[in-house]
Each structure stands twice: as structure tokens, then as C-alpha cells.
Structure 1
Amino acid sequence: MNEVKRRSCLSAGILERISIILADDKVLSHSDINRFLLQADLEPQPKTSSKRHRLFKAFADFQNKNQCSNHILKFIQLVVSPNRYVDKMDEFESLRASINKQLAFVGYELSENGNYRQVQKANTISEAQQRTNNLKKKLDGRNAHKELFKYCTADFLQNDYFGSVFEAHKGLFQRIREISGVQTDGNTLIESVFCDKNPILLINDRRSPSEKSEHRGFCNLLKGLCSMFRNPAAHEPKIHWEISEQDALDILGIISYCHRRLDKAQQIRLP
């Protein structure tokens, strides 16, 4: 520890929230916990208590003894590693976003490549909540579709504009899957559901040339949204780019429009 920079202690509240996040069944099993505790040089915990309590005790014991969070951060880094989520990028991004909301209060962020970087510290819960309220108020003022709030609320917390847009994008494509019954993703999903030759969903009667053009345009609009978040070569979600509040509101407005068209979509055949 002497040769490594000592990282700031995490408050009991942050440790508790991180323990709850990592204790999710999709993230860690009881066996996983001790394996990663050992790898991070933290004290293994008996399986007689719940996962969240085992994690919290290991974190708190280390921090009380060493007055730093180094090994706790190492544990988080091992668990939230891109290598564990090669075929589950959405789960990785969701987990990383949840962890980063807590780390933001000490000025740390876990990047998309699994390394830490310093960020501007979020000072108080009330400050973060004020940011949340501001963005929600602006979306309300635009009469945004209710589906946006369903998928974005958690990401508004730290005013993470990319996270908000990314979650809204995922929510839109999930809704298309639910309505159509097609379980693919990306352009494959859009082609299957809205293709010219044999579509599953229609946003209009698709009889006149103008209606056919509108339907085709909607299909291309969805493909454009998909391309914003996908790497065409790797077919993986893009990780992060800087999005201003204004850009976020504009993109969320497009997603809101797509949801409104889906409200009136007709399913004309089964997948």
C-alpha cells in the first residue's frame, strides 16, 4: 500500500449502495464473492449472511483498518470488467452506470475499458436530484412520451446525458421487440419488423405512394438511431461520447416521436 496512491475512503452510504448493486444475482453469486474478494486481497466472508452483508462487511473492515478504498476499488474493477460481459454489453453498461453514480460522489468513474479515471465530484445528493428535476422538467415541457421516463429515470441522477439517451434508445428497441415478437437487435430487428416486402408492423395504411414513403422513412429513422449507438464493424454498442443537454433533449425528442408512431402501429402478421 505504501507505493500506491491511497484512494479516498467511501462513505458508509456509498459502500451500502455498491454492496446492494453488486449483490444482484445477475452480477455475483455467493461463490463469486469470495473468489473476487481473494483476488482483491480482501478478507473472505462466511456464506451464512446475505450477499450484500458479506460485501459490506468486507469493504467496511478493510476501509476501517487501512483508511483507504484501494482494494475495494480493485474488487469493483474485477467484477465490472468488460471481459465478464463480452456477450452482454447492455448488462455491462447498466452495471457500470449504476456503480459510477456512486463513485461520482468521490470523483471517480469506471471507464468502458475497465480502468478508473477522475471526474468532477458530485457534491451532494440534493445537487444530483436538482439536475434530475431540471432535465425531467424540460422533457415534460416538450410533452415527451411516457416511455422515456420509464427507461431513463435512473440515468438522470448524475445528469449523465449519454446514459439517459442510451437507456432511452435501448427502451425504444425493446418496445419494438415486445410489440412485434421479434427478438433480434439493431438493423436486423428493424429490417425484420418494418421491411418493404413483408413487414410485421405498419405505422400507417401503406397504400398510397406517400404512405409507403413515410413507412420507409420511419424504418430509416430507426436505423439511423441504431447507427448512433452501434459500431458497424464490431456490432457492439458504442461506449460513450460527450452529449450536451441540448443534444440529449433533441435526440430524446426523436425517440419520443418514434414511440408515438409505435402507439398506433398495426401488427399485420406474426414473426
Structure 2
Amino acid sequence: MSSYDTSFRARLPDIKAAVATALTNLRSAVEILKERVGEGINGTDGVIRAYQGLELHKEISRAASQLYLDGHYANAVEAAVKALNGLVRLRSGLELDGTTLMEKAFSPNSPLLKFNPLACQSDKDEQKGYMQMFAGAVSGLRNPRAHGFVKDDPERALEFIAFVSLLAKILDEATA
């Protein structure tokens, strides 16, 4: 027997212990990853927990949350944008809908609702950008779901609803 064989055999208990420790660490890592990814129903547990942790605008939450939690993701997105549309209508006093409402309410030239003093070109550009985001939410998020069949996954729906909620919060800060 060579000195290598003797040395290896002498270290075998340490090697076995190191392998056992490595396996335990790997199992723990896999469990942590499973928890973070959310291996529950349809792989959505982690996303659902994230949704529940959001501080959504009160009206957006009222319109969308139960639909979202029931798994009706596209309907939740559509309901969130409809609620935003209603909030803009209420704040502006306009009886319009959709992109026409957003363009009239937030026009950088003569807005009914302003996000800043419109004192310089940068202010007008910001006003126009917000107008386009509101109009984009209606045409890009609500309309496809209202006029066709869209299947949203939980993560994408969460992101859309959070975006709509942010717009509603920004609307709350707008001045007449």
C-alpha cells in the first residue's frame, strides 16, 4: 500500500463529513430557492405574497385586488385601468373616456390637471410625458383586455397594476 493510499484512508472520515456537510448545505439552498421562487399553486405563491405587500392606491386596490387574488389576472389589470379612468374623469370633470380623456385632461398646452407649474419647456415635457403614460395605460393595458382575450401571468399583472397604482398616486398630487 502506497503512502497516498494510507493518507487518503486516514482522511476518509474527514472527506465523508465534508461531503455530508456540502449535501446539507445544498439541500438548504434548494429549499431557500424553492421558497423564493414559490413552488406552491401554479408557482405563484411568491408573486402573490409580493402583491399582498404592495401599498396600492386605495381605489386601484379596491377595483383589482380581489380579482387578482382569485387568479383573474387580466380582469384585474383591466379593472385597475378602468378605476384609473374613472378617477381622471372625476378629477377633471370631463365626460370623456380613454385616450381622449387623458389627452384633454393632461394636455401640455391647456391642461385641466397639472403635474407642475408649466413654467418652462421641461415642465411642459413632463406634463406631456405623464399625459402619454396615462393614455398608454388605457390604450395599451385596458383596451386589449376589454376587446379581446388576454391571458396575463401573475407577475406581469402585478407589474401592470403597480404601474396603474403609481399613476393614480401621481394623479392625487395633480392640481386643477
User: Distance in 2 between the 1:179 and 1:139 partners?
Assistant: 27
How far is 1:266 from its partner?
0.4
Q: How many angstroms apart in 2 are the aligned matches of 1:185 and 1:245?
A: 27
Counterpart of 1:223 in structure 2 is 135
2:86 partner amino acid: Q
Unaligned runs of 5+ in 2: 1-40
Instruction: Point out where structure 1 has 5 or more consecutive residues left out of the alignment.
Output: 1-126
Higher-strand-fraction structure: 1
- The match for 1:241 is 150
Q: State, as a whole percentage, how many aligned pairs show the same letter.
A: 26
Shift of 1:140: 4.1
Separation in 2, partners of 1:139, 1:147: 15
* Alignment match, 2:22: none
Superposed, 1:1-271 pairs within 5 Å as 135=48, 137-228=49-140, 229-230=142-143, 237-267=146-176
2:18: which partner in 1? none
CA deviation profile, 1:137-187 (whole Å, cap 9, x unmatched): 423423222222111134135311001101001000000011111011011
The corresponding residue for 1:75 is: none
Q: Structure 1 residues 175, 199: closer, same or farther in 2, change over 3 A?
A: same
Deviations 1:213-232 (Å, cap 9, x if unpaired)? 1111010111111112326x
Q: Classify 1:157/1:251 alpha carbon distance in 2 versus 1 (closer, same or farther; 3 Å).
A: closer
Q: Kindly provide the CA deviation profile for residues 21-79 of structure 1, in whole angstroms up to 9, marking residues without a partner as x.
A: xxxxxxxxxxxxxxxxxxxxxxxxxxxxxxxxxxxxxxxxxxxxxxxxxxxxxxxxxxx
Task: Name which of structure 1's ranges 239-248 and 142-151 shifts more when overlaid on structure 2.
Answer: 142-151
| Number of aligned residue pairs | 133
Task: Specify which structure has the higher proportion of helix.
Answer: 2
Query: 2: distance between equivalents of 1:161 and 1:237?
Result: 13
CA distance in structure 1 between the aligned counterparts of 2:69 and 2:85, rounded to whole angstroms: 23
Which letter does structure 2 place at the counterpart of 1:189? L
Quote how far apart the aligned CAs of 1:209 are. Answer: 2.1
Computing the radius of gyration over CA atoms, which structure comes out larger, 1 or 2? Answer: 2
Q: Please give the root-mean-square deviation of Cα atoms over the aligned residues, in Å.
A: 2.4
TM-score by length of 1: 0.45
Task: Kindly indicate whether structure 1 or structure 2 has the higher relative contact order, using CA contacts under 8 Å at least 6 residues apart.
Answer: 2
